[in-house]
Structure 1
């Protein structure tokens, strides 16, 4: 009797499992190399956060495909641009169908408010604030809520791409008490410093800075096709498709307005080996930026090729090395140039990228029309490094390099930090360590957890670091990362690069009225960047992506992650 009961229970369990499997929500599982940390469009800190933000919130324009073509998103068409002697006016008309989840339309007031958040004191918005410095005002129409105009400086670099990329946040969710209503964008801009102590501004900044505003699903809710279902730090972020999403009301919906997968599960797997195991055991469906050696091995594996497709789109991702020029050891550019001659970049590209990369001397791709091809990259030359160290005042005393600064002997010892679990950076660090050891410079390699590394860089607690940076086609605004205004504690100019001339060039590049002038300015800027040898750009890489064959409609992009998961569909099996 007990045996029969057991068989019945087992049969029921199997039937239940089969039923659950049949009705299970279709889910795309994407590997993330680190926790997004912050998925607020104003204060996000890393690429992983941005990838998720793009599924929750929308901008006025969409950057389409690997050629980064601009298409209307919340806007119903590309904007009208009017130029005068003093300003550029960029006028958008919002889609009347575009709504928030409560059914309210997305209006010019939401656009104005979103720009206010970028200009508002106390919101940890420095990076975006510098990027949108050229925006002077946003004009709305009380009789036509779908019309909105940006007023920009007369020589704003690519004003359409700049304004079109602005994420639009819902005013009714992010300012429920109307604390910013009485402050115009112009006032926030012109009285930024004095408003830091304004009680109303301080109250809003305190509210906006609460963890709940950056973590709870009701605040992480834009006009995009997904909402946050669950976020477990260090484990996963699960997004769920909205039941009702405004593009469904469009008579002629563009093919890039997608929210196809019912659920997207971002698995946070920092270690590349663990991530690769998850890929090959069907634990994840999508893995981008696969380590080059693993990628080559996977492409040669017949069983893998039967289950996965691989892609290698071009990127605007740059790998570079930063040196803390504030430290007296590295304050002399000759010392930094010496270190540049210890960087065997061809070996880096061969070992870490399997030649899926191109060498560069700046944050521009070598095929960019403004790339300065007259500059010769630093060649790997330990003897030249020794020569430069001596010119910089270093002495090799009993096998150790020392320099007498303020009558104290300072040893040339280097702590090199990079994000833990990144095999690309680990191999670069090891190759550099061996090269430096040949001439008697000890290098201590220190892999650091992602958020800790960011904290160290912002606090200037490093000697050298390896890091990547992402750009966009046609974008040459380096103020937030290479201007001395961003070199203070907490800023994004981690190495401390900058001279009075380079600052003026950065500002002039943004104001250049024609390509001939822009080329002259960018060429000179690259010369200074190369001479200062900090940061030292190494190469721009191709992405290496694997996607499970159960997924179709793989849309590739120029983003760091290289794909738009919202477009993926499930193959019929």
Structure 2
């Protein structure tokens, strides 16, 4: 359930990890995720802690974490960006979490049972967990949270967590408020709740990891979910921290919850401070930021030279991509999408930008995943083939060097975000490579939050670039299913494919890991052929953690918010 740090990431798919590869099992961490190779995690220790700047030494009770600006969607059933998810991780707790290896572990639920047929999940909630206002968290709050996702007017990205519950369709399609409850959500007693699915699914346990909303605070009448959205900037959960202040584009400030059920946090104040590619090194080396992700190798080297940071380096469970609006007639033609892939020197870009810390991506699954395969088309840079495909698609190159079809020039308006060296390096390569094919590319830079709104909420774009921080379980339906092809859903590009839907369903209902792996191999081959995205890159995450901070140990499945109550600030001599 934990999200992953990454320097260039824009969007996040939350939840998910690998569940049992035999029949559905019960209770605490019974999955056996073998996708994480610990030898891939490199830790570069601080060499000169004594060089820690005085400004950091004097900051005794405040942790400052560098971040891209959150969007202000501070609600676990709505948050879409990685950075909003960090906010939610501090404020809210879910029924379950995961360990560093990606196995499910208890959280709000002290244990769980799964029925023999794999359809019914029963969670036993720990007693005495209090929300920030002192009221106890019960099964009613859990039921309220998941029923809210089922609401007819729910327009967030979490539908895949509830769409297979018994009674979901009846409740969701009921606009007249005749259906009062979701059949598959049953409160047994104040500390026991049961969820029943229409069919058994391998990764279903991870549908229950979202933060729990207090019913008494967020309560709304069915259909009036706007009331819940009106509280985005006034979140309340049961987490280790409460929101104190939010300055859009600048910072988010948190204060510790002294009554946190896992124990009083050791750090009084946490600040998520907005940094970017141009400021991150200065903010870190000056002592003004304690934790941040650094991308380019030369940045990592500067942080190493500072001497007072521990640097965690590991393959990111993520990938970068270019999204095309497949509702646009130009991009509906698969040959055009393939031409754009063949016509982009992705390897050259990655070698120049990452300098050995990245690799070309050809399918939407990370190399850290057990479902990864490289037995697919590699789309090596081939301008001749790209030109041939464009010719076949009817895009004719004229005397001016540009391509036309039906009298219209091939121009792509590319929405992207500011403050990113990745973007700054990618723009000239895309313009040059595709320009040689006869395609004009017009970049339009904007704040990341604005880009998210245009792409996911309004779906008003031709092309954009972002990245996904992935779940541990390889199920792709949370991004690419037909159900996500709605405003606010994750399938912003509008890729709906019958074979894809069939394979995704097979993957969900197969419990043998080797058989699932074969299903996802077929699915990745399909995605590689159809190109719902133009896949760009995998990278390494490099996370700098000040030597004054203890208890933060990021890795592919763990971010800095993990067990935040145990993180502490120590004196450095």
Q: Residues 516-552 of structure 1, C-alpha deviation per residue, up to 9 Å, x if partnerless?
A: 5433432222222112223122232221111222212
Structure 2 portions without partners, runs of 5+: 1-54, 167-183
Per the alignment, residue 35 of structure 2 pairs with: none
Per the alignment, residue 320 of structure 2 pairs with: 319
Per the alignment, residue 86 of structure 2 pairs with: 51
Per the alignment, residue 468 of structure 2 pairs with: 469
Per the alignment, residue 436 of structure 1 pairs with: 434
Classify the secondary structure of the residue corresponding to 1:312: strand
Cα distance between partner residues in 2 of 1:246 and 1:430: 51
Contact 2:150 2:159 in 1 (8 A): yes
Calculate the TM-score normalised by the size of structure 1: 0.81
Mapping 1:474-489, distance limit 5 Å: 474-476=473-475, 478-489=476-487
Structure 1 portions without partners, runs of 5+: 1-19, 180-199, 249-257
Per the alignment, residue 278 of structure 1 pairs with: 283
User: Could you say if the C-alpha distance between residues 42 and 570 of structure 1 is closer, same or farther in structure 2, counting changes exceeding 3 Å?
Assistant: same
Equivalenced residue count is 499
Q: CA deviation at 1:339?
A: 0.4
Per the alignment, residue 521 of structure 1 pairs with: 519
Per the alignment, residue 131 of structure 2 pairs with: 100
Cα distance between partner residues in 1 of 2:361 and 2:399: 37
Contact 2:159 2:484 in 1 (8 A): no
Classify the secondary structure of the residue corresponding to 2:239: coil
Q: CA deviation at 1:221?
A: 1.8
Q: Residues 267-304 of structure 1, C-alpha deviation per residue, up to 9 Å, x if partnerless?
A: 123x321232222222211112x131443331552xx0
User: Could you say if the C-alpha distance between residues 558 and 260 of structure 1 is closer, same or farther in structure 2, counting changes exceeding 3 Å?
Assistant: farther
Cα distance between partner residues in 2 of 1:314 and 1:328: 37
Contact 1:418 1:426 in 2 (8 A): no
Cα distance between partner residues in 1 of 2:56 and 2:205: 47
Mapping 1:77-226, distance limit 5 Å: 77=111, 79-84=112-117, 88-125=119-156, 127-136=157-166, 137-142=184-189, 145-163=190-208, 165-175=209-219, 179=220, 200-202=221-223, 204-210=224-230, 213-216=231-234, 220-226=235-241
Q: Residues 28-64 of structure 1, C-alpha deviation per residue, up to 9 Å, x if partnerless?
A: 0111111342111122231111001111110111212
Larger RCO, structure (CA 8 Å, separation 6 or more): 2
Cα distance between partner residues in 2 of 1:494 and 1:348: 25
Per the alignment, residue 396 of structure 1 pairs with: 397
Cα distance between partner residues in 2 of 1:32 and 1:367: 24
Cα distance between partner residues in 2 of 1:324 and 1:159: 30
User: Could you say if the C-alpha distance between residues 560 and 277 of structure 1 is closer, same or farther in structure 2, counting changes exceeding 3 Å?
Assistant: farther
4+ runs deviating over 6 angstroms = 20-24
Classify the secondary structure of the residue corresponding to 1:469: strand
Cα distance between partner residues in 1 of 2:405 and 2:353: 37
- Alignment RMSD (CA, Å): 2.5
User: Could you say if the C-alpha distance between residues 334 and 549 of structure 1 is closer, same or farther in structure 2, counting changes exceeding 3 Å?
Assistant: same
User: Could you say if the C-alpha distance between residues 489 and 89 of structure 1 is closer, same or farther in structure 2, counting changes exceeding 3 Å?
Assistant: closer
2:299 alignment partner, one of 290, 295, 300: 295
Q: CA deviation at 1:215?
A: 1.4
Cα distance between partner residues in 2 of 1:342 and 1:567: 49
Q: Residues 165-223 of structure 1, C-alpha deviation per residue, up to 9 Å, x if partnerless?
A: 13211122122xxx5xxxxxxxxxxxxxxxxxxxx424x3242232xx1112xxx1211
Q: Residues 341-377 of structure 1, C-alpha deviation per residue, up to 9 Å, x if partnerless?
A: 1222222322232322343322212353333432121
1:267 paired to 2:314: no
User: Could you say if the C-alpha distance between residues 74 and 468 of structure 1 is closer, same or farther in structure 2, counting changes exceeding 3 Å?
Assistant: same
Cα distance between partner residues in 2 of 1:201 and 1:449: 34
Contact 1:323 1:464 in 2 (8 A): yes
Q: CA deviation at 1:563?
A: 5.7
Per the alignment, residue 353 of structure 1 pairs with: 354
Contact 1:470 1:560 in 2 (8 A): no
Larger Rg: 1
Q: Residues 242-289 of structure 1, C-alpha deviation per residue, up to 9 Å, x if partnerless?
A: 1222224xxxxxxxxx733211011123x321232222222211112x
Contact 1:555 1:567 in 2 (8 A): no
Q: Which has a greater percent of helix?
A: 1
Calculate the TM-score normalised by the size of structure 2: 0.81
Q: CA deviation at 1:507?
A: 2.7
1:531 paired to 2:538: no
